[in-house]
Amino acid sequence: MASDSGDGHATLKRCLAVLRDAKNDSEQFAALLLVTKAVRAGEVDAKTRRQIFDAIGFTFPTRLLISQQPPAGCPPHTFRALGLTLLACFCTDPQLAGHSQILNKIPTFNDVLLSPCDPDSTSMVDDVYQCLSAVLATARGPRELVTKGTVSALCQAYLNGGHGSERALALLMGLLAIAEAKCWQRDAPQLLAVLSKLSSDFLKAEDMTKFELCEVLPHFIPLSPPLTENSQGSECLCRLYKGLADVLGSKLSQSQRDPALKLAASLVQACGAEWIPAGSAGSKFLALLVNLACVEVRLTLEEPDPMEGEGKKEVVTACYVLMEMGIQECLREENPLLENVQKMQLMRIMEEAFGAVIFYLGQVKQEELQDPFIFASVRVLGAWMAEETSSLKQEICELLPFLVDYARKLFKEGSPAVSLPQAELVRTEGSALPQDALRFLLPGFCHLTAEDRPRDILIAEGAPALLCEYFLQQWEVLTSESTAPAPLTSPEMSLQTMCGIFLNLVVTAPDLVRRDKTFPSLMDVLLKSLPLLLPQKHHLVLAANVATLGLMMARILAGSAALQGTRSAKEFFGAAIRFLSQAHTAQADPSSDGLAVAVSPAYESAWADVGELWFLGMQALAACVPLFPWLPHAALQARCPQALAQLLSHVAPASVDSELVTAFQAVLVELARASEQCRDVILAHHGTEWANLYGMAALEQCLAEQGGASSTLGGE
């Protein structure tokens, strides 16, 4: 055997010498045939492969690919086949596979895949797949394959079902794993055709193929564009729903159930619950899906060594996606898929599963904190804490030190602006991207800071200082984004939720705000941010949060240097006063000839989120007026007393409800008490008359007293 191998190498060396020294094409061709024969027989090691490349380079294979004249008596594609064999040989060297001379052959590779394949040309197809697989593994390869049309060629090759079609599918899966968005952006119709075939096969299959397809299908379910956008995508979803309903409704082994749960999670990630039809069958399926996910989570996480099984983390992460959908569907009031009885049953089952998640996180060791599965577990628990505030209270309180510490570690170690969506963890197991755990914990922390025990734990663990740092970081992310109106971004949502957390602390723990150095730092950020936010109407809800929080904190921190008439303090209060005084307007009342008070058009669409903050802000502004001697002048500059007095003197008193009357009166009384100029403005707008009409006794008395004091002074 050894001598045969030795003879083979000796022959190869002679052939290489002939290739180098050949005087004409026929000599070179004869030597080349022997070389390619050795290559196909697998007799070429890395050193010899390099020698072949050094002898002929890319020039000779390129000539072979474009040559139209085969040798006498040979098939038409002979030269092309030889050229592809040599390129496939070179591509086994990763350095050569990424060479521009290989990358510029991609259109040729595509042509071979799309050409009719007769029995003589199967080796060409095999060589092309070898080249494409090698290119895919290089740094530049995936981008080049997408832009040069390989996705479309692979789709067609798979749909044609010819030689190597399974390799086409495997390559598509590889490309989609690396460049899903670009692939769908460029070749959506072709990929949809593949998904259509796969979903049909999935529905029809009655054997193990069904479970094998559960592993393949998630690669072809795009996050964007949504499959629900066109009829072909909707038909695919319908087939997948029916196929999964068949699978999950049967008695399954673990190895059969796991891929089905992962497929369901991919569909939820892409389409929410839209792929599940309304009605009795759909609601039973959804309940079954969440139930199975909860059982899987409990069975796995309550084990002494929960993650020992192969691929367990991936399956449990998929179950987390299904549980998160379960939470959303149990809370959905408009067109709910679930009936109330089902919702109550699922909430009980989910409570048990989240108990297992908490138990698991309580056992996590420091060296495991970088594991993406820990992140997935914290994220899903955050979703539960955001919505379900009454259950597992004791267990969550005990876990809070871990959650704060974990979020702090991730925040300090990386840029928390980047994070993986939940099911993206299913797709990119082991990703080293820095992840933002705080973002998912904030809504739960907002609920918890309203209650004594969890709030005390969060304060003891240093959460306020961490949240202040995070607020500053998210503010920087937001201000670096485009200023054009856009859907609510995650930094903006996080900032709004943090304002809610800090408001809870300001209201329930004012002593903490006075003594903790975190809060003056936060105050500085608020002073600078509101004047920038307010002019951008698409940031109105965030502006309302910042204005109200800043005013509430200013009452407590009135003695701090930053608030002593500094430019930033005056700009903040000017912006806050404009926000408050421009929220209402006079408009024609259809039921009478007069005017009625109404929410200003610019505030109308956001009033559900802004209204409560506005009332709180008015109270806080009234409380700030006596604390800052320069504030009445700032109010006059922002035309606050003028605007309020004008509004109240024009509208019908019956159109102003008692809550609004109280809010307006609180601010006007403090301004009138603190400043003669403000009082004069109110009086000039017939303040005494309308104060009486609105039943503003405190304002009426204040105007009368101050007016009396002025006339007494004048009389003297």
| Tens-place pLDDT, residues 116-125 | 877 777 889 9
pLDDT of residue 418: 40
Per-residue pLDDT, averaged over 14-31, amounts to 62
Quote the pTM value. Answer: 0.85
Q: Residue 354: which residues within 8 A CB-CB, separation 6 or more?
A: 323, 380, 381, 384, 388, 391, 392
Token digits of residue 320: 């987390």
Per cent of the chain over pLDDT 70 is 86
Alpha carbon distance 510, 512 (integer Å): 5
* Res 73: pLDDT: 63
Closest CA to 53 of 82, 79, 91: 91
Nearest by Cα to 88 from 39, 20, 144, 153: 39
The pLDDT value recorded for residue 542 is 96
- For 585, the 3-state DSSP assignment is strand
Grade residue 275 by pLDDT with cuts at 50, 70 and 90: very high
Distance of alpha carbon 458 from alpha carbon 475, whole angstroms: 22
Write the pLDDT tens digit of every residue in 244-264.
Answer: 999 998 888 888 899 999 999
Q: Is the pLDDT of residue 54 over 60?
A: yes
Average pLDDT over residues 71-83: 76
The whole-angstrom separation of Cα 304 and Cα 309 is: 12
At 388, the pLDDT band (50, 70, 90 cuts) reads confident
The per-residue pLDDT for range 446-472, each reduced to its tens digit, is 999 999 999 999 999 999 999 999 999
Residue pLDDT, tens place only, 468-485 = 999 999 999 898 876 666
pLDDT in tens, 349-373: 999 999 999 999 999 988 888 889 9
- Tell me if 385 sits within 8 A of 442, measured CB to CB: no
**Phi, psi dihedral angles at 203 (to 5 degrees):** -65, -40
Domains in the chain with CATH codes: 516-705 (1.25.10)
249: amino acid identity, one letter: G
Q: What is the pLDDT of residue 706?
A: 59
> Roughly what angle, to the nearest 10 degrees, separates helices 46-56 and 2-21?
20
CB contact set of 533 (below 8 Å; sequence gap of 6+)? 539, 542, 543, 546, 575
Q: Determine the 3-state secondary structure of 152 from DSSP.
A: helix
Residue with tokens 């089902």: 342
Q: Which residues of 228-261 are buried (b: 16+ CB within 10 A; e: fewer)?
A: eeeeebbbbbebbbbbbbebbeeeeeeebbbbbb
